Chains A and B, each alone.
Chain A
Amino acid sequence: MNARRVQAIARKEYYHLIRDFRSLYLAFIIPMLLILLFGYALSLDVDHIPTAVVDHDRTPESRDIIRGLGASVYFDVVAHPPTTAALTDRLDRNQAVLGIVIPPGWSADLKAGRKSALQIVIDGSDPNTAGNTRAFITAFIAQANERRLLDFLNRQGREWIRPPVEGRIRVWFNEDLESRNFIVPGIIAVIIMIVGALLTSMVIAREYENGTMETLRALPVGAGEFFLGKATPYFFITLVDVLVAILMGQLLFGVVMKASFWLMILASAVYILVALSIGLLISVKTKSQLVANQLAVLVTYLPSLLLSDFVFPQQNMPVVLKAVSRLVPATYYIDILNGLYLRDLSFLQLWPSVLVLVVMAALLSSLNIRALKKEGL
């Protein structure tokens, strides 16, 4: 391994990069676009549920309950349809997810101590939203009941009867249950895979397509020197992307990393090496920029997005997919990032995931060097 040769290849690769518009676009514009897209569009939070209320009762009590709904962050009362049919229409057109019908005589029943039912309809086409909506409206009604009970007891001059079991719930690590806090680290993992693997997937294939691979074979360049020289410029570019992503997460989405910045950089460096190795391996194996590009998307971007615990929780996956997801590098990187972003963990707690990434990087690098040796370097 000779440093001057590695430097010569790295410098040449850098010139290719800065003179190729597509590479630059892929390296800098695409990542920023993805952060914006994922950060704003991919929210798993359920709040401001569009709600339509039909009030047949028209009493202070019914208006009170509508006001209560509107005051909650979970519900937005978007419409007051005059009839049940009009309400159905709102649900049909996807203008409301939650429909509430207050029947005539509702408050009269309430005051008389008779059973007084509210009709509640939830659009179940998105089970996640529907489930959350059901939980929120159930809690809302339970609260209303509790308040009425308290009023009643007060008027009777009786004391509040405490329920025997009280759950004192505390949410840890992501106190406000903001999905953004979870999404931003995931975006960083996906972006590094895209930029790292997609960019490098072209760089060896390009040597074949231009016929310069034949020249390189005749030159005293070792496989290790070639691999290292090729990877170096992309390593730094991808590292810049990590920093940009951290900064954008902080400025745009208010997601602040709690733990050590340097631990983050260390873990990112290893993960970048994994991504670059995958791209370079695809490049040397396919020898065609087009095929390499498509393959890179298939084997890196999609698994990172779908199997890494980022969008879909691994707990719910079938056994086979769960096993596959253990092979996806992003799984470990996201685990580390969540530890750093949300849990303020230290290296002592995160080292197993870091180690897995180190092993992956070492394995993929040696596969690369073997493939390059076979190609005559």
Chain B
Amino acid sequence: MPLDADAVVVTDLVKRFGRFTAVDRISFSVRTGEIFGFLGPNGAGKSTTIRMLCGIISPTSGAGRVAGFDLFTEPERIKQTIGYMSQKFSLYPDLTPFENIRFYLGIYNVPAEQWPERIEWIFSVTRLSAVRDRLTRELPPGWRQRLALGCALLHRPRLLFLDEPTSGVDPITRRHFWEFIRRLTSEGVTVFVTTHYMDEARHCGRVVMINAGRIVASGPPAEIVAHVLPDRPGADLGDAFVALMQREAS
């Protein structure tokens, strides 16, 4: 069973909206326990892909399994199993952090006897105990992001999808964020993250770069750079991406 040993496996995945092809026959796999980066400029098809993987929208064609469940036939099983945090903070601003947490516990159907322990745990990892009864809208963006991440982890998912998790967040919060993500993977959690910040790719074990709905490169970041720009030792992933775009255009 080599297929299901991977957390995510997709082959020839296509999503069309009318005549527009947002995602065009992409194939990749995510290994259990790694941080997998999904990179590309805005409008490249990152969000469409992550929404297909999370069971929010159904693919037009292709095949795929997430956490062992089929993308086409078992989207509800996928939703129950994974954790998902989106770029827009997925919280209710007129509820307190405590109330938001309780909402997610209920939605993820966590048994009631585990609630006190989970609530305790989430407040300790997000360091939000002091504001548990303030309205969420009064919190600074970085704090809200921590709360959103905490809510996505309440049901202890083994596979976490993060859609542009660090956009609009200050550098210090971003560093804390990545430290926390690394800690999660050390406990065996698989993390799939989309970003348009090329520099964040250094936190990822492997990345896939997409543009206009197609995969343009994949592999560990260093290997991609070495492969695309072998004669420029100081180059980074951003340089490699620009070079790839230029080659494709010519």
Contact = CB atoms under 8 A, between A and B. Distances in A.
A221 interface: yes
B143 to A, nearest CB: 18
A210 interface: yes
Interface in B59-86: 76, 79-80, 84, 86
B88 to A, nearest CB: 5
Nearest to B79: A220
A7 to B, nearest CB: 6
B108 to A, nearest CB: 7
B107 A218 contact: no
A280 B109 CA distance: 24
Contacts of B56: 214, 217-218, 376
Contacts of B55: 218
Contact of B102 (A11, A214, A222): A11
Contacts of B237: none
Contacts of B80: 220
A15 B109 contact: no
A222 B55 CA distance: 13
A52 to B, nearest CB: 61
A315 interface: no
B103 A8 contact: yes
Contacts of A220: 76, 79-80, 107-109
A216 to B, nearest CB: 8
Interface residues of A, number: 24
B88 A7 contact: no
Nearest to B100: A12
Residue with the greatest number of chain B CB neighbours at <10 A, chosen from A16, A211, A217, A219: A219
Interface of A: 2, 4-5, 7-9, 11-12, 15-16, 19-20, 210-212, 214-215, 217-222, 376
Given A4-B112, A220-B80, 7 more contacts: A9-B106, A20-B94, A214-B88, A218-B55, A219-B79, A220-B108, A222-B76
Kindly list the 7 A-B residue pairs having the minimum CB-CB distance in the complex, ordered from nearest. A8-B106, A215-B90, A220-B79, A220-B80, A218-B84, A217-B56, A211-B88
27 contacts: A5-B109, A8-B103, A8-B105, A8-B107, A9-B107, A11-B103, A11-B106, A12-B95, A12-B103, A15-B92, A15-B94, A19-B94, A20-B94, A210-B93, A212-B90, A212-B91, A214-B90, A215-B86, A215-B88, A218-B79, A218-B84, A218-B90, A219-B79, A220-B79, A220-B80, A221-B107, A376-B56
Interface of B: 51, 54-57, 76, 79-80, 84, 86, 88, 90-95, 99, 102-109, 112
